[in-house]
Structure 1
Amino acid sequence: MIVIAILFYLAFLGFYIYVGWKVFEKAGQPGWASIIPIYGTIVMLKIIGKPWWWIFILWFPVFGIWATNLLSKSFGKDVGYTLGLLFLGFIFFPMLAFGDAKYIGPAGDPAAFAAAQQPHFDFDAKPAM
């Protein structure tokens, strides 16, 4: 019986690793980053548009809830989807990974995302004539 429980746990864990990998890839980040404990959290903070030092305040539950809300907004979802991620994450997280949700930028701000994707202005470049 314990062997069946261990196999079920490993299958569930493998599925969630794959789901995390797909969510990271949808956001334009390397999928392998989702399996590295601290680095994966830092990359997730980048996906939701928060600085790396947020890793320290995520220990407080209210900030984890806030980060989950920002994650759902980053994929164009609303507060209802955030509640789904919080209370039924085993259903909504795979829906985020395999559904039709598109990454629209950190915290759902497409203008900021588009601006961040532009090449930086080079002050030393000569103007084209």
Structure 2
Amino acid sequence: MGFIAISSMLFLGGIYVTIALAWWILQIVANWRIFTKAGEAGWKSLIPVYSDYISYKIAWQTSYFWLVFILGIVASCVQTYAGDSTMLLTIVSLIRIIAGIISIMYSVKLARAFGRGTLFAVGLIFLQPIFMLILGLGDDRYYGADK
């Protein structure tokens, strides 16, 4: 490879890293704002598992966070030991489907907590980073968790 090819790859890699960093910072700002709109301290959005717990508290109930958390651990453990067992792999699939349904319900609850409707919830389901930016950086008001 020539010098020009290597420098071009480094340049393109630098552009990618810059865009990814900017996107990451925007996501942090959006989550911080969502938390503060809901009356939580913004720094809580920076701590990985704790931020998910607070997100469920903001949108719904923390018991569903614990359910998804435990289901994820169980699915991971069962999959590790499943080998070629069709029954165990089916159980893992069912656990993941249940967790996916709860995640969809969370998106609906989050949209409602900020006074948004079903179409916004669909946006949260399929394009979550973009709709979280809209929620965090927009002028949406927090109305409370939908129990």
TM over 0.5: yes
The within-5 A match list for 1:5-84 is 5-52=16-63, 54-57=65-68, 59=72, 60-84=99-123
1:102-121 alignment to 2 at 5 Å? 102-107=141-146
- Give 1 or 2 for the bigger CA radius of gyration: 2
C-alpha spacing 1:46/1:90, structure 2 compared with 1 (3 Å)? closer
Q: Deviations over 1:46-85 (max 9, x none)?
A: 1123124523426411111111110001011111110111
Normalized per residue, which structure has more helix? 2
Q: Please tell me the residue identity of whatever aligns with 2:106.
A: A
SS at match of 1:104: coil
CA–CA distance in structure 1, aligned partners of residues 45 and 17 of structure 2: 22
SS of structure 2 residue aligned to 1:72: helix
Residue 91 of structure 1 and its aligned partner are, at CA, apart by 3.0
Which whole-Å CA distance do the structure 2 matches of 1:49 and 1:93 have between them? 16
TM-score by length of 1: 0.75
Task: Say if 1:53 and 1:62 are closer, same or farther in 2 by CA, change over 3 A.
Answer: closer
Q: Which amino acid aligns with 1:46?
A: K
Q: Does the aligned pair in 2 maintain the 1:21–1:31 contact within 8 Å?
A: yes
Write out per-residue CA displacement over residues 6-29 of structure 1, whole angstroms, 9 at most, x where no aligned residue: 111111111111111011111110
Structure 1 stretches lacking a partner, 5+ long: 110-129
Higher relative contact order (CA 8 A, sep 6+): 2
Note if 1:91 corresponds to 2:130. Answer: yes
1:37 partner letter: P
Structure 2 unaligned regions, length at least 5: 1-11, 73-98
- Identity fraction in percent: 30
